[in-house]
Amino acid sequence: MRVFRYPEQATWDSIVTRPSLDTRQTEERVLPILEAVRTQGDAAVKEFTMRFDGAMPEALLVTDQERKQAAALLSEELKAAIRQAYANIKKFHEAQREAEVVVETMPGVRCWRRSVAIQRVGIYVPGGTAPLFSTVLMLAVPAAVAGCPEIVMCTPPAKDGSVNPAILFTADLAGVHKIYKIGGAQAVAAMAYGTEAVPRVDKIFGPGNQYVTVAKQLVSKEGVAIDMPAGPSEVLVIADATANPAYVAVDLLSQAEHGADSHVMLVTDSETLLMAVQEEVARQLAELPRRALAEPALEHSRLILVRDLNEAVALSNRYAPEHLIMAVSEAEAWSEQVVNAGSVFLGHLTPESVGDYASGTNHTLPTNGYARAYSGVSLDSFIKKITYQRLSAQGLQHLGRHVAHMAEAESLDAHKNAVLLRLQDLD
């Protein structure tokens, strides 16, 4: 990890810049996949599943029998852990419901807003080297809490045509209606356009590799809603002299092990801690099973020494991390200065891992600096807010002439007349 000591603010932007990703080649590979699925449906999906996953499932749709058998293949400890995570995530997202409030903006003019669930949502769950059953919880639970009538999920099959049992068990628990054995860009295409087997969805959620990410971005240009722009996973740790170097090191490695394109940073006002973290990262990396993935990520990551914590928080806000760990004394007080972050982890006993799995917050978060303007997935991601208004005779008489004057000033005579005709009848 590259070390920067007391960098001047003028250099911060260059220091916190993520590694650039050139997606042109990926787009060239993804576009034909999208077009093939759009025009050939299930036949194209099956061809790509065989080509990329080496699997040819008997049917794309997971059967009820497969779903029921999944529970028997998991340990009781893992099932208990998943159930606890489910309960926490459901509780946190249920608390995000908003009461319907009617506001009388002036006598006889009532306005309100109603939450309506998106009718059909699609969830993509990665498989491969890390089958992310936790992602099922993070997406299906708020979808179910929101009341989405149809929750569709795609996940890549193993070579024998099976789906990871933890993914199936979690999907069953969380209320997923249909599960398909489809991965990669072809899964995004199937959900975006619909095929003979897969229904077209209104919004697509979920992380994935570069092909899934680019596929989501491409279909979003065609009017298919997606959760948010996505990029490689990232964490920034702000630590002071009270932090445990071993904790900080493992927090950095927990993001680096996601893949070679992950981005991790430490910002500290303690030279002693910085040196200790360097040593700990090297020691723990040597024992990490996913070292081959973590090591390249560390090569483009940063250790930054600043003058004080005010500078540390300011630099973090400039970076806008997906995950921000504040391993400092009085962490909650310092967190009040945070304005750009996907999710914040406060104190020495709150590793980022708890948010990834089971604290209750959502782990689907904005990356690549999008935390400056985007929120992570929440209950709101699965609902639409429709506004309503109703005017009484008194309301139209109070408001109508103001609207007519404004419409006339904009040379929109039909708008003006829509009000005046009604006022004439009332008069």
Q: What is the percent of the chain where pLDDT is above 90?
A: 91
Binding site for NAD(+): what residues are annotated? Answer: 124, 186, 209
**Same domain for 106 and 81:** yes
> Are 237 and 213 in a shared domain?
no
Q: How many domains does the chain have?
A: 3
As a whole number, the mean pLDDT across the chain is 95
CATH number at 39 reads 3.40.50.1980
236 and 219 within one domain: no
Write down the catalytic residue from 234, 280, 311, 322: 322
Q: Return the pLDDT at 129.
A: 65
How many CA within 13 A on the CB side of residue 281? 28
| Same domain membership, residue 290 and residue 167 | no
User: Does the active-site annotation cover 322?
Assistant: yes
Known catalytic residue at 323: yes
CA 61, CA 67: separation in Å to the nearest integer?
A: 11
- Mean pLDDT for the stretch of residues 254-267: 92
For 284, the 3-state DSSP assignment is: helix
- 207 & 273 share domain: no
Residue 324 reports pLDDT greater than 70? yes
Q: Which of 42, 138, 130 is nearest to 85 (CA)?
A: 138
Whether 390 and 110 have beta carbons less than 8 Å apart is answered as yes
Amino acid identity, residue 363? Answer: H
Q: Are residues 151 and 238 in the same domain?
A: no
pLDDT for the residue numbered 232: 87
Distance CA 79, CA 137 (A): 13
Task: Out of 168, 195, 226, pick the residue that ends a domain.
Answer: 226
Rounded to two decimals, the pTM is 0.94
Q: Judge if 244 and 139 occupy the same domain.
A: no
**pLDDT (average), residues 303-328:** 98
* CA–CA distance, 114 with 106 (Å, rounded to integer): 20
Q: Tokens representing 295? A: 């090591």
The confidence score (pLDDT) of residue 128 equals 67
Q: Is residue 66 part of a domain?
A: yes
- pLDDT score, position 21: 73
Is position 12 within any domain? Answer: no
Binding-site residues from annotation for Zn(2+):
255, 258, 356, 415
Q: What is the pLDDT of residues 101-137, one digit of tens each?
A: 999 999 999 999 999 999 999 999 998 667 889 999 9
Report the binding-site residues for substrate.
233, 255, 258, 323, 356, 410, 415
Angle of helix 42-53 versus helix 24-40 axis, rounded to 10: 140
Beta sheet of 234-239, edge-to-edge order: 2-5, 302-305, 263-268, 234-239, 323-327, 343-346
Segment 148-163 mean pLDDT: 95
Q: Categorize the per-residue pLDDT at 296 as very low, low, confident or very high, splitting at 50, 70 and 90.
A: very high
Given a cut of 90, whether residue 427 has pLDDT beyond it is no
Q: Retrieve residue 274's tokens.
A: 């910085």
Catalytic position from the list 234, 263, 311, 323: 323
Within this chain, do residues 318 and 338 fall inside the same structural domain, yes or no?
yes
Residue ranges of the binding site: 124, 186, 209, 233, 255, 258, 323, 356, 410, 415
With b for 16 or more beta-carbon neighbours within 10 A and e for fewer, the 231-242 pattern comes to bbbbbbbbbbee
